[in-house]
Structure formats: C-alpha cells, structure tokens
Amino acid sequence: MGIFSPLHKEDWHPTGGSFIRPNKVNFGIDFITAIKNRYVLEDGPEEDGKEEVITIGNKLVETVGFDTVIKQQSQLCQLEEVSLRSCAVNCAGDRGAIARACPNIKELDLSKNLLSSWDEVIRIADQLKHLEVLNLSENKLKFPSVSPSAPGTFSALKVLVLNRTGITWAEVLRCAAGWPVLEELHLESNNISISERPTDVLQTVKLLDLSSNKLIDENQLFLIAYLPRLERLILCDIGISNLHFPDAGIGCKTSLFPSLQYLLVDNNQISQWSFFNELDKLQSLHALSCMRNPLTEGDKAATTRQLIIAKIGQLKTLNKCEILAEERRGAELDYRKAFGNEWKNAGGHQDPDRNRPSDEFLAAHPRFQLLCLKYGAPEDGELKPQQPFMLKNQLLTLKIKCPNQLDQKVLEKQLPDSMTIQKVKGLLSRLLKVPASDLLLSYESPKMPGREIELENDLYSLQFYSVENGDCLLVRW
C-alpha cells in the first residue's frame, strides 16, 4: 500500500499526485530527538583505560584521549552553538523539553529541515531566551496572515536568515514586530517585491541581504532607503541596471541611505557610468563590490577600476581591494587628463572666470570640476592629441636623469612610445642596479617648463602620459 504524494512543482496538476511507499517517506523528528542524535555521546566499554567506544547517532566510533570533549558535548545544557542542518526536524516536541535540555543556545542552524510553519518556529524559539542567531533557510514555511502574538520570543535575536523560505515582503513586515533588536536580515532567493516602506519595524537592522530577488527595481529600493541604521546592503543578482537619487543634484549628497557604508551589486546588469556617478551621492559609502557586470568585465577591467575610483570620491575599498592614497591620486589625475579635451570642448577653461563647462558634460562627469580644484585645471600641453601611428613615431629618444644621485651620469635611450611604465622600470632596474619596486618615475617636457608629471600607473604606456621625443625621464629611489 502506498501513500499519496503531490507531484513535483513542474508536473503539478490540481487533481494530480503520485504514490510512494511509506518506508521511503521521512516524516521528520522533533527538535530534542535531533539534538540528541547529533550531540549526545554515550560511553561504551573501555579497553585498557586508553581507547573508548562511543555512539554518535547510530555509529560506533573509537576515540583516544577525548574524554573531556565527550563529557562537555554530552551535556546539552552547556551547548551555545548548535547546527541541526538537514536533520529532518519538523516540530519543537514536548512542551518545555527544549528549555529543560538546552536552554543556553545562542546560535542555531535549522536550515534545510521539515519545518512547515512560523508558529512551529516560535514554539522552538520561545524556549531559547538567549537565542541571538537563527538560520531557517530552505524550510518551506507558512507565515501568519496577521501579526503573530509572541512578545519576548525573539527578544535577543540579532541575526535571522530566511533564504529560500518563500517569505514575502508583507510577511517580513508582519513578523518583524517581534524582532526588536535584529541587526542582520538575510532574504536571498525569495522572489520578494518590496511593496511597503518599513516604518515601525526593522529600524535596528544594519545588514540587509536581498540577493537573487529578481522582482526588485530601483523604485522599490527607495522604500528601504530611510532605514536609519542600514550600513550594509547586498543586492547581488537582482538584475539592477540603473540608479538615480532624485533629491540630489550634481555634486550634492542624497538624504537616502544615510548610514550605508558597504554596497554589493555583483552579478547585475550595470552598463552605464551614470550608475557610479549616482553612488558618489551617498553620504557614507566607503566600500563597493561590483564584479561581474557588463561594465566591469573584459579586457579593460584595470581601467574600469581607475574610473570608478575617480568617480566615487569617498570610496576606500573596491571589489574587496583597498584603495591606497597613491592609487586614488593616480586614478584622479588620469581621469582629469583622459577627459580634459572633452571638458575644454564643452566650455571648460584654465581661467576660473571663463570656466563654464556645459550641463551635459557636468552630468556625465560630476566630479571633474572638483578634481580641477584639487589638482589644477589640465593644461594645453597635457591635452595634445595623440600622434598618428607611424613608424617614425614609435621610438622616443629620452634623457634619463637621477636627481637624487649626483654621481649618476645622464643617460639617453630610445624607447617605444607603447612601452608600459612597468617595463620602463624593469629596463631602468637593470641599468641602475636598483629593484624595480623601489623606482619612482616622472618626466619633464621643454613645452611645460617647471612642471613635473608623475608616471604613477604601471599599466599605462609612455604614449598615454603624452611623453614625447626629447623629454626627460626623472628616476628616484
């Protein structure tokens, strides 16, 4: 005789089903049974006082020298961190049994079990007054249609993980009244659509993970933009491509996301630089991860990094790599030079009284004016067009001076204009017998007397820095 079971979702039919044998069905076990199966170790017969046979679940295991560990783990009341992942837990069990057996649990992993309702979760959590971290991922939970009346149940809860539980945003807000001190909320892969602004709930949340919820767009994000303590927002794989803060103009800061310091937007559809222009409007943003987006992939990843750094002034970490002061300075100088001709053609001028770039240029490059104030407006000598690519233009005859080494003779070398700064340093390292990592390069041009231009980015070429025939390389260490 078999048991009638619903079909898989892809085969579902209102009147359909399938039969399976009872001995193939896992109806689940209660919380106490599961925790005893995993954590209670029973002493077996001793042999010569050295080896010991214990039972872990249904298996016999020989141990040597683990007496202290065994005794500690066998005492459930001392457990503070418990993992019952994939243990087929379906209910709390006898009333009060959890509170009597293991009342000191602080971190509990109940992911991938057979829990079917939020009410059953409450029956478990109500007996764990010290519970701070709870993972319920991959349980298909039924959530209450009205706010659950369970005051004090989650009074100590700081981290809640509800990935792949089928919860909706309305249900989040309904239950959130019972999470008075919650700091982290993980809601990955729930097909969530943010339909309402949280007003009296989630006000203590510092981290919110909404990854892989493909229904979320930028307008929905504005509904959570007023959470006062939100510091970390994870928006990986939600399909976002655009972002605009309507309350802040060019060069201004937005009032939205006032505490946001760390933003993850990996695996999305970001393909416009305007996205990063908008991020510069965030008051507190210090760290950004934006890997695997159309704009950040491909052969120009290094250049893209430099542009993002130049566009977001307060950024300290990009894609988990710290931005050092030297890298920021190089990126901003390169940006100022790369778009200098465009700035000039749009009405930019070295004379502050005549410097009036168009609104269109400022919208595309909102930090350019600030960079001009920081480093000075780009001069004509820096903005000359690149020479046509002909054979006679491939080699540059350059003088090489070492200003700090008075006994070092001035050298003269012919170098390809396509040669990167890294390779120039390698050549000079061999000539001067100095490690390449110790070398600092800059150059002077007769066309810009008294001005020294640093060659900071090892990945760029001499041509990029507009080094010309007859210029002088300055080498310091």
* Cα 14 to chain centroid, rounded: 42
Q: In this structure, are residues 457 and 330 in contact, taking their beta carbons and an 8 Å threshold? A: yes
Q: In the predicted model, what is the mean pLDDT of residues 327-348?
A: 93
Question: Residue 389 burial by CB count (10 A; 0-12/13-18/19+): exposed, middle or buried?
Answer: exposed
Q: How confident is the model at residue 47 (pLDDT cuts 50, 70, 90)?
A: very low
Q: In the predicted model, what is the mean pLDDT of residues 206-211?
A: 98
Q: Which residue has the higher pLDDT, 280 or 61?
A: 280
Q: Do residue 338 and residue 410 come from a single domain?
A: no
Q: Do residue 434 and residue 377 come from a single domain?
A: no
> Is there a domain that residue 376 lies in?
yes
> Is there a domain that residue 407 lies in?
yes
Neighbours of 188 (CB within 10 A): 19
Q: How much of the chain exceeds pLDDT 90, in percent?
A: 64
Choose the final residue of a domain: 351, 382, 413: 382
Q: Do residue 351 and residue 425 come from a single domain?
A: no
DSSP state letter for 272: -
Dist. CA 372–CA 343, nearest whole Å? 11
Q: How confident is the model at residue 6 (pLDDT cuts 50, 70, 90)?
A: very low
Token pair for 183:
């700091």
Q: Do residue 369 and residue 438 come from a single domain?
A: no
Q: Do residue 378 and residue 400 come from a single domain?
A: no
DSSP state letter for 267: S
- Per DSSP, the three-state class of 411 is strand
Task: Tell me whether strands 317-318 and 59-64 are parallel, antiparallel or unpaired.
Answer: unpaired
Mean pLDDT computed over every residue of the chain = 87
Decide if pLDDT at 52 tops 80.
no
Q: In the predicted model, what is the mean pLDDT of residues 330-356?
A: 93
> Is there a domain that residue 242 lies in?
no
Q: Do residue 332 and residue 359 come from a single domain?
A: yes
C-alpha closest to that of 96 among 118, 128, 130, 119:
128
pLDDT number for residue 15: 57
pLDDT number for residue 381: 72
Q: Do residue 397 and residue 469 come from a single domain?
A: yes
pLDDT number for residue 380: 78
Mean pLDDT is lowest, of 68-72, 86-90, 258-262, 300-304, for 68-72
> Is there a domain that residue 414 lies in?
yes
Q: Which residue has the higher pLDDT, 420 or 2?
A: 420
Question: Residue 47 pairs with which residues in a beta bridge?
Answer: 51
pLDDT number for residue 390: 43
> Is there a domain that residue 465 lies in?
yes
Domain that holds residue 463: 391-476
Mean pLDDT is lowest, of 5-9, 137-141, 144-148, 441-445, for 5-9
Q: Which residue has the higher pLDDT, 5 or 118?
A: 118
Dist. CA 246–CA 219, nearest whole Å? 11
Rounded-to-10 torsion of CA 152, 156, 158, 162: -50
C-alpha closest to that of 468 among 389, 402, 386, 408:
386
Dist. CA 337–CA 371, nearest whole Å? 10
Q: In the predicted model, what is the mean pLDDT of residues 78-94?
A: 96
C-alpha closest to that of 272 among 314, 229, 242, 232:
242
> Is there a domain that residue 249 lies in?
no
> Is there a domain that residue 42 lies in?
no
What is the DSSP annotation of 224-263?
A: GTT-TT--EEE-TTS-------TT--TT---SSSTT--EE
pLDDT number for residue 40: 84
C-alpha closest to that of 283 among 319, 311, 249, 259:
259
Decide if pLDDT at 10 tops 80.
no
Q: Do residue 445 and residue 471 come from a single domain?
A: yes
Q: In the predicted model, what is the mean pLDDT of residues 128-146?
A: 96
Q: Do residue 370 and residue 399 come from a single domain?
A: no
Choose the final residue of a domain: 347, 382, 417: 382
Q: Do residue 398 and residue 356 come from a single domain?
A: no
Decide if pLDDT at 356 tops 60.
yes
Question: Residue 126 burial by CB count (10 A; 0-12/13-18/19+): exposed, middle or buried?
Answer: middle
Dist. CA 81–CA 364, nearest whole Å? 51
CATH number for position 454: 3.10.20.90
Q: Cα-atom radius of gyration of the chain, to the nearest Å? A: 32
How many domains does the chain contain in total?
2
C-alpha closest to that of 63 among 43, 78, 83, 82:
43
Decide if pLDDT at 157 tops 90.
yes
Q: How confident is the model at residue 9 (pLDDT cuts 50, 70, 90)?
A: very low
Instruction: Report long-range pairs for 241-247 (Cβ below 8 Å, ≥24 apart).
Output: 241/268, 241/269, 241/270, 241/271, 241/272, 241/275, 242/218, 242/272, 242/274, 242/275, 243/218, 243/275, 243/278, 243/279, 244/218, 244/274, 244/278, 245/278, 245/281
**What share of residues in the chain are helix, strand, coil (percent, to 5)?**
25, 20, 55
Q: In this structure, are residues 309 and 331 in contact, taking their beta carbons and an 8 Å threshold? A: yes
> Is there a domain that residue 468 lies in?
yes
Buried b (16+ CB within 10 A) or exposed e, 54-76: bebeeeeeeeeeeeeebeebbeb
Q: Do residue 432 and residue 414 come from a single domain?
A: yes
Element (H, E) at 81: strand 81-83
Query: pTM for the full model?
Result: 0.73
